[in-house]
Chains A and B, each alone.
Chain A
Amino acid sequence: MTALGSPLASTVLFHVGPLAVTRPVVTTWVIILVLTAGARALTHRLSAHPGRRQAAVEAIVTAIMDQIEGVIGENPRPFLPLLATLLIFLVAANLSGVLPGVQAPTGKLETPAALALIVFAAVHGFGVRARGLFGYLASFARPKLIMLPLNLLSEVTRTFSMMVRLFGNVMSGEFVIALVVALAGLFVPIPLMALEILVGLVQAYIFFILATVFIGAAVDTSGGD
């Protein structure tokens, strides 16, 4: 970060028609490109007898599946693409801010908002698929009908809080590092950067686990809400 500006503002790099392409978008494209290329490189020669690299990839995927199954209590495969991608992308995006000259996409409000929107849509999509439309809508009136407004409001607020938590932690970390670099020098913020790595990993996990919990609550047909 070469200059101190509004932490909420994103630099527009170019326009594609009416859409302004900002730095977080380009950074996300790079992340997508790297993740896809890495995934392709790791999985294009899979074997029944895995090597060390394949074993590591399978261990990561299996660990994520076990985490999802532990929270939701069902077959994790339908939820794996969304939730695992959420975790992997958030780890990559949060840690990208550590690289010199790179701003973490999650440090801008639009990216956590987009992710929160997708999680919000996925929660209700999985809920309707698991319970049926009316069954799922009826779940908002439990345990009493009077709870309906509060439940609806909580659906929005918890998603909003999830978005703001991610955005605030990443943005504040980057902002503090930028301030320290501007005031103290080049190597002084290194401990803060290490802390930022930890915060990025923790926030990625929190976002992932909250999304998993929300989806688990939506698809829970045992009577819980």
Chain B
Amino acid sequence: MHFDWSTFALQTVNFAILVWLLHRFLYRPVLRMIDVRRSEIEQQYADAQTAEDQAKAHLAAIEAQRAGIGAERQATLRQAAADAEKAAAERRTQGEHEAASLLADARKTLAAERAQALAQARRSALDLGTHIATRLLAQVPGELRAAAWSDRVGQYLAALPEPQRAGLAKQLVNGGQLQIVTAAPLSAAAAETWRNMLQQMLGGRFAVEFAVDPQLVAGADLHFPDAVLHLCWQNALAAMRTEIEADARAR
């Protein structure tokens, strides 16, 4: 068997040289380029990952913002509904108060008007009664009225306490004059009857003068020098009117 050691040695060296040459001119440049591309791809992947993370964060922020808008919208709607309900309740309460106030005012006005109408009706009734009484009395003959009222005046004077009656008589001494005002003129006989009755009740002789005032309706007023005795219906009707109005106000 032939074996050439020179060829063996040279081939060993040749292969070692080839390893170095290919490493120098093939593997190293190719691997370097692969590394560059890989790092570039990794960088692009990292950039893409960063962009994706940013997009996700942005999306999350938008979703959070959108959720916030929804919640804010719901809160606004709830607040608006609550405000509207509150305003409606306030308006309803105010309306009820205003209606109650209007009702109370109406009732007051109605009561006042009714009271006023009632007072007016009373006054009208009094005026009507006075008018009716005046017309009825006008149909009674004057002598009868004078006699009737002279008797009543006599009874009144007789019923007065003695000191008071004496005080009235005292005003007529020494030329004092008593004026008798009636609603209708008295006849001479009736006047004489009045004069006699008064002089008898008050004692002494004094001057008596007669006057007429239709406003008295009936009866007579006795005008002493320092006092007046109202014994006419005008005065009685006025007192009645005053009592009735006082009674109405008291109610």
Contact = CB atoms under 8 A, between A and B. Distances in A.
Nearest to A58: B30
B7 A110 contact: yes
Contacts of A28: 10-11, 14-15
B26 A42 contact: yes
A35 B22 contact: yes
Interface in A50-107: 50, 54, 57-58, 61-62, 77, 80-82, 84-86, 88-89, 105
A32 B17 contact: yes
A57 B12 CA distance: 26
Nearest to A31: B18
Interface stretch (A19-27, A182-190, A193-201, A208-216): A19-27
A80 B23 CA distance: 9
A111 B34 contact: no
A85 B6 contact: no
Interface in B75-121: none
A109 B8 CA distance: 8
Given A58-B30, A85-B15, A89-B15, A110 B3 contact: yes
Nearest to B5: A110
A84 B15 CA distance: 12
B40 interface: yes
B136 interface: no
B40 A82 contact: no
Contacts of B32: 46
Which one of B18, B23, B32, B37 has the greatest number of beta carbons of chain A within 10 Å? B18
Contacts of A62: 34
Interface residues of A, number: 50
A146 interface: no
B64 to A, nearest CB: 41
B96 to A, nearest CB: 86
Nearest to A60: B30
Interface in A168-192: none
A46 B30 contact: yes
B18 A25 contact: no
Contact of A24 (B7, B19, B20, B29): B7
Contacts of A50: 33
Contact of B8 (A48, A54, A57, A113): A113
Contact of B11 (A18, A48, A80, A110): A110
A135 B4 CA distance: 36
Contact of B6 (A19, A57, A111): A19
A35 B19 CA distance: 11
B156 interface: no
B166 interface: no
A152 interface: no
A133 interface: no
Given A36-B25, A85-B18, A20 B4 contact: yes
Contacts of B1: 8
Contacts of A82: 19
A7 to B, nearest CB: 10
Q: Which has the most chain A C-beta neighbours within 10 Å: B21, B29, B30?
A: B30
A57 B14 CA distance: 23
B158 interface: no
B40 to A, nearest CB: 6
A84 B34 CA distance: 16
A29 B15 CA distance: 10
Contact of B33 (A46, A85, A88, A110): A46
A114 B37 CA distance: 37
A144 interface: no
A60 B213 CA distance: 155
A118 B15 CA distance: 9
Q: Which 3 A-B pairs have the closest CB atoms?
A: A114-B11, A39-B26, A110-B7
Interface of A: 6, 8-10, 18-22, 24-25, 28-29, 31-32, 35-36, 39-40, 42-44, 46-48, 50, 54, 57-58, 61-62, 77, 80-82, 84-86, 88-89, 105, 108-111, 113-115, 117-118
14 contacts: A10-B4, A25-B10, A46-B33, A50-B33, A58-B33, A81-B20, A81-B22, A81-B27, A86-B15, A108-B7, A109-B3, A110-B4, A114-B14, A117-B12
